[in-house]
Amino acid sequence: MKAKKYFDVFGEADKHPKAEKFAEEVRARIVLAEAVHQERVSQSLSMKMLAEKAHTTPAVISRIETKQTKRSVS
């Protein structure tokens, strides 16, 4: 069996039926993350302060702002 080249994997991933929806969701998370971060900084809030106002934890704010996700295409 011939080994696939690295770039072939990405070409095949783009053909996955859920690839476009996944890409849209990723773009939406990026826009949200940037908006949350910019607004937090413009109001001179720390992650801890924003977390308290949002009734959540600083870890959640950090995950939002760094665009971390646990989703995958399956």
pLDDT of 13-33, one tens digit each?
778 888 888 888 888 989 999
Q: What is the pTM assigned to this prediction? A: 0.67
For residue 6, what pLDDT is reported?
63
Range list of H helices, the chain = 6-14, 19-42, 47-53, 58-65
Q: Over the stretch 41-70, which tens digit does the pLDDT of each residue have?
A: 999 999 999 999 999 999 999 999 987 766
Contact 29, 69 (CB under 8 A): yes
CA-to-CA dists, residue 52 to 5, 19, 40, 43, angstroms = 48, 36, 12, 14
For residue 38, what pLDDT is reported?
95
Question: What distance in Å separates the CA atoms of residue 30 and residue 34, rounded to the nearest whole number?
Answer: 6
Q: Give the residue extent of every domain in the chain.
A: 6-65
